[in-house]
Each structure stands twice: as structure tokens, then as C-alpha cells.
């Protein structure tokens, strides 16, 4: 019998019952408010997972700064799990003993975070040696890979000693949140999952972030599922998690809600088992607990509607050969460099075989660029040294100008605000935005 806080077992049971698991990105510094937030999420009319999102001090390892902020009564943008006394953290966690809680953090150096989790009775987290290094700071990739190797192994051991299964969700499918063609997101998400499997992590989830074209996203989710079945060891318990759009968010409430609705529909039609939800306030401020709960319940309702009726094709109805071929080429190129996934990732970035568009980290070659074509699909405009097949689609433009980059960054925000206005004016005239 699985532990009641086992995230993978909970998601698997919900999926068997035809339910999408929904989850907020929520964290408050005050333990009472954090506990009350977890209780509110548990009480939502949906299959939910609790979230403890950490603060910026903790993410960069400045635990003294977090402690000083707590002592001075300063505002923190998350829960400082290391700075708080372990007894206090355990009291927060014990408020929902029958529901999984995941720690979300954003750190390239996660050892102290994982240690604090272990003594507090927590075993589910997320991130990765690439995805929590390149976009977010200056930690050398080699150091991040080493730190994640050690931290992941220790989390597995401490969780097992307490009778729990460790769970790590890859963040590789969310690199920079936007303007990255799906094949690279799929490849890095899978490779980070394989990295965790090599460290003995028994349960993983593979992430993918909603992008600019819904059908292309379904194709990407289909490719990710096929590659996971092919490359992850049979002993690893895995599922797919979709993120509601990670880039510049619509500024109107109706546009933001429409984007959330589409992400819930995408999760169901794409075969994802879990959805990380955003609220209507993402473009303006941190959402309240009540706003998070409303977004969770709305996403759950839309997911059920999408199971009954949707114009969006299912993941087993699309031709995903294009994204599959590109992602497979990148994964196999990394595997040819080393049997150790961490070493392979390092070598691949050194050689430019993996290269994240618009990422300024010194360990990223920066020879690639993405482009949104006329159909809203993300394609390559500069392929750099990526080992892509000759059939890989490429944009006609020769380079991305600064004005072109700004237009692409605002593409989804502008589009969904406009779609929402059109729907309010003539609901029957607005079709599914593909």
C-alpha cells in the first residue's frame, strides 16, 4: 500500500478514475498562512495536489537572508523551508496528511532544500540540472549537474528510510517558458527524467509547458509520451504534467481565463495526467489563496468538459512524427556522448548539440533561435549545431530582430485578450484557437 503523500500513486489513481489532477503554484512565508493555503487547496472541488513554493532567498541558497527577513517581518515571495524550524515545517505539512504536497523551488543547488524536505516528511519536488540552471542564474552547468546528482541520491535514500518514494518532476519542458520549439522541450524533459532515473529516483513526472499552437502542443505531448515509454526504465513510475502558459500573460481577466481553459483542454486532449494552474491575476500580482482555488476548480470543470466534447484532436489522433524525429535526434545525440546522462548533458551543451534559444547563460552556446510562424507554430529560425533531421521545419526569416522578439513575447497575451473580446462580442463566432 502506497504512502498517502505519494504523488505518483495519487495521480495514477485519479487518472484511472478519469480525473485530471490540478495544482497551484503557491507559497507564503508565514507558516499559518501556508498551512491554511494547503487546507484550502485540499478542500477545493477538484483532485488537487498541495504546493509549497519557496522564496527567492532560499532558491539562491541565501538562508541567512531568509532568516533575517523573517525576523524583521519583511515580505517574502514564498516559503523559506530551510530558514524555518523543522518542527514548524512539520506542523504545516501535517495539516494535510492524506494528500501529496510538492515543494517547488527553482534552485540549481538544491541540497539544503532536499535535506529540509526530508526531515519535514516531504518527498516530492521538481526541477533539474539543466532547467534550474541555464535560465535562472550564473551557477556553472557542471556544478549544477554535480549538485543535482548528490541531492537526488540523498533524497531517494532519506525518503526510502522513512517509508516514502521520492518524486522529482522535470522542469525541462518549461525552458524559459516560451519561444523554444517543442522538440527541445521534449528532449530536455526526457533527458532530465532519465538523469533522475539513473540516480535511483523511483517516480518522476515529465513536464511540458503550453506554447503558442494547441495542435503542435498535442503533438509534443504525444512525442513525450512515446519517448518516455521507449527510454525510461520499466521500474520507474512516471506521468506527464502540463504547465499553463509560462510566458507573458493576458492582461484582461477574460483573456487569462480563456488561456487557462485552453490549457485544461490541452492537458486532457494531450494525455497529461496533471496540470499546473495559473490564475487571472498572473499579469498583475501574486494571486490570493481564494483566487488559486477558483482557478483550480475552473480547470477541473473544463477538463471534464473536454473529455466529453472538444474540437482539439487527441494525442493518439495527431501526426507527431515531426517533433518526435527532432526530439529523438537530440536525445540519441546525448546518449552517444556518455552512458552517464549528466556527463552527456554537459558534453552536449559544450558542443552545441543542445542549445536553448535566447538563453544568456555562459554554458549555453546561444546559436539557436525560435520563431512563431504564420500558423502560430514554434519553429527554428536558427538551428545552430542541433543534430536535427534534414526534414526539420525552418522559418523563412534569417534572424530575429529586437522588435520581432518583442512581438513574439507578447503573441499569446495579445492573442488571448483579443480572442476573449471577440468571444464576448459574438460567442458563437469564435472557434477553438489552434
Choose between 246 and 433: higher pLDDT.
Answer: 246
Banded pLDDT at 2 (limits 50, 70, 90)? low
CA torsion through residues 372, 376, 378, 380, sign: negative
User: pLDDT tens-digit profile of 237-260?
Assistant: 999 999 999 988 999 999 999 999
pLDDT greater than 60 at residue 359? yes
Condensed to tens digits (0 to 9), the pLDDT of residues 294-351 reads 999 999 999 999 999 999 999 999 999 999 999 999 999 999 999 999 999 999 999 9
What pLDDT is stored for residue 54 in this prediction? 97
| Average pLDDT for the chain | 93
pLDDT > 70 in the chain, percent: 97
* CA nearest neighbour of 251 among 295, 283, 278, 291: 283
- Determine contact, residues 204/238, Cβ cutoff 8 Å: yes
- The pLDDT value given to residue 307: 93
Contact 246, 177 (CB under 8 A): yes
User: Angle formed by the axes of helices 141-161 and 111-119, to 10°?
Assistant: 10
CB 100 within 8 A of CB 52: no
Contact 164, 128 (CB under 8 A): no
pLDDT digits (tens, 9 = 90+) for 118-168: 999 999 999 999 999 998 788 999 999 999 999 999 999 999 999 999 999
Sign for the CA dihedral angle at 51, 56, 62, 65 comes to negative
Q: At residue 428, does pLDDT exceed 70? A: no
pLDDT for 430 beyond 70: no
Distances (CA, A) of 258 to 47, 216, 250, 262, 280: 21, 18, 9, 6, 9
Return phi, psi of residue 303, to 5°: -65, -45
pLDDT at 1: 45
Q: Average pLDDT of 365-392? A: 92
Look at residue 170 and give its three-state secondary structure. Answer: strand
Q: What is the pLDDT of residue 431?
A: 53
DSSP state of 234: T
Residue-level pLDDT at 5: 84
The arithmetic mean of pLDDT across residues 362-387, rounded, is 94
For the entire predicted model, the pTM comes to 0.95
Q: CA 94 to CA 4: how far, in whole Å?
A: 12
Each residue's pLDDT tens digit, 217-227: 999 999 999 99
User: Which tens digits make up the pLDDT trace of 181-198?
Assistant: 999 999 999 999 999 999
Contacts of residue 170, defined as CB under 8 A and 6 or more positions apart, other chains included, come to 126, 127, 128, 131, 188, 189, 190, 192, 193, 196, 204, 205, 206, 207
Check residue 225 and give its pLDDT.
98
- Is 433's pLDDT higher than 60? no
CB 48 within 8 A of CB 97: no
Q: Cα separation of 309 and 170, whole Å?
A: 30
Give the H/E segment covering residue 87: helix 86-93
Q: How high is the pLDDT of residue 396? A: 65
**Confidence band for 397, pLDDT divided at 50, 70 and 90:** low
Residues 6+ apart with CB under 8 A from 302: 260, 261, 264, 265
When pLDDT is averaged across residues 35-39 and rounded to a whole number, the result is 97
Ramachandran class of 21: left when φ > 0, alpha when ψ lies in -120 to 50, beta otherwise? beta
What integer pLDDT is reported at residue 259 of this predicted model?
95
Candidates 3.40.50.300, 3.20.20.240, 3.20.19.10, 3.40.50.720; correct CATH number of 1-434?
A: 3.20.20.240
Please report, in angstroms and rounded to a whole number, the separation of the first and last CA atoms in the chain: 43
The burial class, CB within 10 Å (0-12 / 13-18 / 19+), for 94 is exposed
Burial (CB count <10 Å: 0-12, 13-18, 19+), residue 138: exposed
Amino acid at each position: 500500500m502506497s504512502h498517502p503523500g505519494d504523488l505518483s500513486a495519487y495521480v495514477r489513481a485519479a487518472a484511472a478514475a478519469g480525473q485530471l489532477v490540478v495544482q497551484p503554484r503557491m507559497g507564503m512565508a508565514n507558516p499559518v498562512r501556508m498551512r491554511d493555503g494547503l487546507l484550502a487547496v485540499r478542500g477545493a472541488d477538484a483532485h488537487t495536489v498541495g504546493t509549497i513554493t519557496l522564496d527567492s532567498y532560499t532558491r539562491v541558497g541565501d538562508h541567512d537572508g531568509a532568516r533575517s527577513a523573517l525576523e524583521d517581518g519583511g515580505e517574502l515571495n514564498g516559503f523559506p523551508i530551510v530558514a524555518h524550524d523543522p518542527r514548524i515545517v512539520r506542523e504545516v505539512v501535517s495539516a494535510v496528511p492524506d494528500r501529496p504536497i510538492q515543494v517547488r523551488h527553482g534552485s540549481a543547488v538544491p541540497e539544503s532544500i532536499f535535506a529540509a524536505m526530508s526531515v519535514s516528511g516531504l518527498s516530492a519536488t521538481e526541477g533539474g540540472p539543466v532547467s534550474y540552471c541555464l535560465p535562472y542564474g550564473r551557477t556553472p552547468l557542471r556544478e549544477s549537474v554535480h549538485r543535482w546528482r548528490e541531492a537526488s541520491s540523498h533524497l531517494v535514500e532519506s525518503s526510502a528510510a522513512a517509508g516514502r518514494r521520492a518524486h522529482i518532476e522535470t522542469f525541462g519542458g518549461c525552458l524559459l517558458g516560451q519561444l523554444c520549439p517543442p522538440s527541445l522541450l521534449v528532449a530536455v524533459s526526457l533527458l532530465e527524467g532519465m538523469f533522475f532515473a539513473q540516480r535511483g529516483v523511483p517516480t518522476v513526472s515529465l513536464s511540458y509547458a503550453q506554447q503558442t499552437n494547441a495542435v503542435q502542443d498535442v503533438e509534443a505531448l504525444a512525442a513525450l509520451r512515446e519517448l518516455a515509454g521507449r527510454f525510461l526504465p520499466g521500474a520507474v513510475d512516471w506521468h506527464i504534467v502540463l504547465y499553463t502558459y509560462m510566458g507573458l500573460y493576458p492582461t484582461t481577466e477574460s483573456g487569462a481565463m480563456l488561456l487557462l481553459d485552453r490549457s485544461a483542454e490541452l492537458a486532457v486532449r494531450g494525455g497529461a495526467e496533471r496540470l499546473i494552474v495559473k490564475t487571472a491575476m498572473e499579469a498583475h500580482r501574486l494571486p490570493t489563496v481564494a483566487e488559486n482555488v477558483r482557478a483550480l476548480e475552473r480547470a477541473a470543470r473544463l477538463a471534464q468538459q473536454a473529455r466529453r466534447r472538444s474540437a482539439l484532436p487527441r494525442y493518439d489522433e495527431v501526426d507527431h512524427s515531426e517533433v518526435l524525429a527532432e526530439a529523438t535526434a537530440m536525445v540519441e545525440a546525448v546518449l552517444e556522448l556518455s552512458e552517464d546522462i549528466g556527463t552527456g548533458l554537459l558534453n552536449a551543451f559544450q558542443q552545441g548539440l543542445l542549445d536553448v534559444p535566447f538563453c544568456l547563460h555562459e554554458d549555453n552556446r546561444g546559436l539557436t533561435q525560435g520563431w512563431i510562424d504564420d500558423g502560430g507554430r514554434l519553429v527554428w529560425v536558427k538551428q545552430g549545431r542541433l543534430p536535427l533531421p534534414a526534414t526539420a521545419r525552418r522559418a523563412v526569416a534569417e534572424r530575429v530582430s529586437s522588435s520581432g522578439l518583442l512581438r513574439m513575447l507578447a503573441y499569446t497575451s495579445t492573442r488571448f485578450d483579443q480572442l476573449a473580446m471577440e468571444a464576448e462580442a459574438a460567442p458563437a463566432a469564435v472557434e477553438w484557437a489552434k
